[in-house]
Homo-oligomer: A and B are copies of this chain.
Amino acid sequence: MIDRRQFLKTASVLTASAMVTSTSANSTTATTHSTSNLFSTDVAETARDNTRASYRIIALVFDDYETLDLHGPIEMLGHMPHAEIKLVAASAIVKSYQGPRVVADGSLDNTYPCELLLIPGGIGTRKLVNDAQLLRWLSQQVTVSQKVFSICTGAALLAKTSVLNGYKATTNKMAYQWVTSLNAQVLWQPKARWVDDGPFLTSSGVSAGTDAALYWVKQCHGIDEAKRIQTLTEYHWIEDADNDIYATLT
C-alpha cells in the first residue's frame, strides 16, 4: 500500500516548476526504484470508495518520441471513465520529433503502479535501446503495470528487456527488420494492426496505436463505450486487428 504522506510528498515534488529547475530528475546511481503515486487517488482511497477509483495510465516519454504514437492513444484513453494520464521521463521536459515539448509529471527515479503503461516509439528509441538505466527502469515499471501497451517502435524498448520473451508482438512495419532483430525470443507478428497477448498490447506503426487504444477501451468498457468515443472524436476506427494494409512480408 502506498503511504499517503509519501504520495503527497511525491506529488508536490513533481510539479513542473520543481522539475524544470532541477538540473536532472534522474539519478545515475540508482539500481532499484522506489514505488510512487502520481494520481489523485491513492490505493487506500480507492479501496474505500470504488466510485473514486481512477484508471491510472503512465506514459513513458523521451526526446524524439513520435507525436501521434503518444497523443493518439492519449486522446482515446483520456475519454475513458476515470482515466488519469501522467507522463514520466528522464528529464523535466522532453521534445517530440515534430518539435513541440511536453512536461513530465514523474521521473525515472520511481516506478508507478498503474493499470496501463504506454510506451510510444519514434526515432528516439534508436538511442534508448542502448540506455541501460532506462531499460532497468522499464523492466521494473512493467512489474507494477497491469497492462503494457507499446506503439510503433516502442516495442523495441520492451524487446531489449526480457519481459516480452515468449509473447506475440508487433511493431512498425517500416522498422520491422530492426526491431525484430533485437530479440529473437519474441514471437513477432508481421501482419497485425495490433497484437494483444497476455499482459502486452503491441501496436503497429504510429496511427495503429490510436486504433489499438479504442480496442482497449472496448476490452475495458465494452463496444458501446468505444463507439461513444469514436463518435465524439469523429474517428474512422480500424476495428479489426487483422486489417493491416502495411503488413510486411518477411
Contacts and interface: CB of A to CB of B under 8 A. Distances in A.
Nearest to A232: B174
Given A71-B71, A103-B103, 10 more contacts: A16-B20, A20-B21, A66-B75, A78-B96, A78-B98, A85-B100, A100-B102, A174-B231, A206-B235, A208-B234
Interface of A: 16-17, 20-21, 59, 66-68, 70-72, 74-75, 77-79, 83-87, 93, 96-103, 105, 172-174, 204-208, 210, 231-236, 238, 245-246
Contacts of A238: 236
A208 B173 CA distance: 25
Contacts of A98: 74-75, 77-79, 83, 85
Contacts of A20: 16-17, 20-21
B86 A75 contact: no
A68 B72 CA distance: 6
A206 B234 CA distance: 6
Contact of A86 (B70, B72, B83, B99): B99
Contact residues of A: prevailing secondary structure? mixed
A21 B21 CA distance: 9
Given A66-B75, A67-B78, A100 B234 contact: no
A238 B86 CA distance: 31
A86 B93 CA distance: 15
A67 B75 contact: yes
Contacts of A172: 234
Contacts of A205: 232-234
Q: Which 6 A-B pairs have the closest CB atoms?
A: A78-B98, A71-B71, A205-B234, A68-B75, A206-B233, A101-B103
Contacts of A78: 67, 96-99
B102 A102 contact: yes
29 contacts: A16-B93, A16-B101, A59-B100, A67-B71, A67-B74, A68-B71, A68-B72, A68-B75, A71-B71, A71-B72, A71-B75, A74-B96, A74-B98, A74-B100, A85-B99, A86-B99, A86-B100, A87-B100, A87-B101, A100-B105, A101-B102, A101-B105, A102-B103, A103-B103, A173-B234, A205-B233, A206-B234, A234-B246, A236-B238
